[in-house]
Structure 1
């Protein structure tokens, strides 16, 4: 096992990785921006290094500063968490070029899956179902209009280099396509430095289902369980649950087999997620993207399987076998995660501010992975996530009941928060039925 680990991230995921590292006797090293000097993850690490001012480009995305921190502290390995540099192939290569262990998939796998068009083509060649769409970057709006004649409307217009639900728009006809193509292209150039645009057939009523995979140290790729991620605003997730209430045993077998094929197609190692769109009317599903990192929602998979995915990541990176037998891995109960964000609960607009009250819920089956505490300030420099409520029950109804208890018991004052939205969602008949799709939040509004 590696003996020292630099966590190239912040907030709740940094605390999460540090917690497992320290449990395993691994020296945990944090990097932080000037704005985060008093955050819990900095105080909980064995050692910490300031890597720059608040702006992410000058701190958490500053690869040179992070590598310098790793060298100066004698770190043996780097865990990137999610976001920031976690899916940056160049950073992964630089980590390894500096003689450090990268806790993640190979740089080649990251690069292959980072380009959505290349990823689609690789998956199709591997026998993973993909939705009708373009096989090459769409060079111009006129080329997009031409391609749309074959694909059909409505269309999803996507930034080929995008991720996390960013750089996406729906076009229902040619006029909308011309408008949205230019917007997505400009956004992609500005945000990702790559204006390539992908067109895919848009399915108005779909569920977002993903599968957790692990590429083991011995070369095998295994699929754990699926997660339901259809509660979204602006194509970004708010609540996830495992297992999915829409997935039958037969459909699960197909999902897991496809996810293994996806991982094997790129020689995948470490933790990753294969995201798919499921048509609930037909049972068909299509590859959406592969996230080459640990997901925000990984705790719900941990709870239903009784494992620690960060520990598994560290073992794989160290060349060790998993803590469990893949053939007899338990899969029991039901888990739900709610992303507690600093945003208003109606329009989901950001609402940072100083935290004057922060009281976390507790009790049987309730876990909170938090970034903040009373007296700290939720700054506007980073994403809106403040904490994750994760609950576990013996079945879905039990998990929903525990989630209601946890939401009611979480007290936050100062910044705006979306706890009132979750209180509403957990009483919503459509959600309670389990028969919902990615349009549920819009219908609630």
Structure 2
């Protein structure tokens, strides 16, 4: 058995890092589709921001099937084939999306048709691989390690996005369509190989951690959904994820166009700015993870403190980003975006801790379908948030006839949404974000 294989003692740290490599690979390819191609459509090809936003929203809509994919891996009790198969689909789809983007002005009908197919496959690949990876993490890691393991893998995912954003940004200079195709192909091949190596013999003979394994067969899909929706804690958490992730995702599709239109940045420069944002998220996750562990049991309501701090910090950073929209070149935009990312990271890792605590708490449902439900809620919110942000910018630019004012208006809405999310966190999230020796019960995670 390989060192990272699941055994009676649960998935070891080497195995956890291997799942983190899968998450990093997913993040790298999604970065290409949602940031680089998004910016090219809006700035270089002068398309309405609603077009890439609609495509990204569609890839999130496809992920509504996440519970079904999770249920499939539950029934088969094997996660690795779903992870690797999903990554292969995602890699192919990223290449199709790149080609479609380059064809949108010369052959618009073919380009848009190919883009719809590509983003459909992107959603399917992300859903199948991502849900199965998180389900394996929840089911194969000992209870005492779950929160820490979740933080490690998500930090690795953000690190993958940062590294790929900076690398792709550098490799795209000077920009040309031919260079874009070469870079996209190299990225797709690299992450597919990483995923294949990371999942090789990962599960071993014991796929599920023995203390959380359910001996009875997994329930049918509708019965599993009914069980989850009848649990007050799971239902509240689903709503919290939905609302907070709308606030979290609204700037995703407009940050790089904002850098190009207001600050005059080139594609490589705006991609690197996106890397600074992701770098802030990475540091925020690390700080929140270490802080949550250091103060475990010492302060009341640690999870509330971390989530609320992340939301309020994000609101403040967005408010100053609105000021940057009016100031233009000369504003310390890199620092501003980094602070936004840092606050986003503090919020995200706190929410992840609660999610992992609830993932294995079902009476008969297993981790795949439960992670699928929360993944679907997040996907809906991400798609809706990104679409609202992009459509809002398009409409505001038409009405206000000034790019800076339009972006300031949207950033202000995002800031307000984060304040609302902070209020929801005070009612939804429970007393501790720290790792627990036993899986968190409903009353321990929710007020």
Bin of the TM-score, shorter chain as denominator length: under 0.3
Return the structure number with greater strand share.
1
Q: Kindly indicate whether structure 1 or structure 2 has the higher relative contact order, using CA contacts under 8 Å at least 6 residues apart.
A: 2
* TM-score of the aligned structures, taking structure 1 as reference length: 0.26
Return the structure number with greater helix share.
2
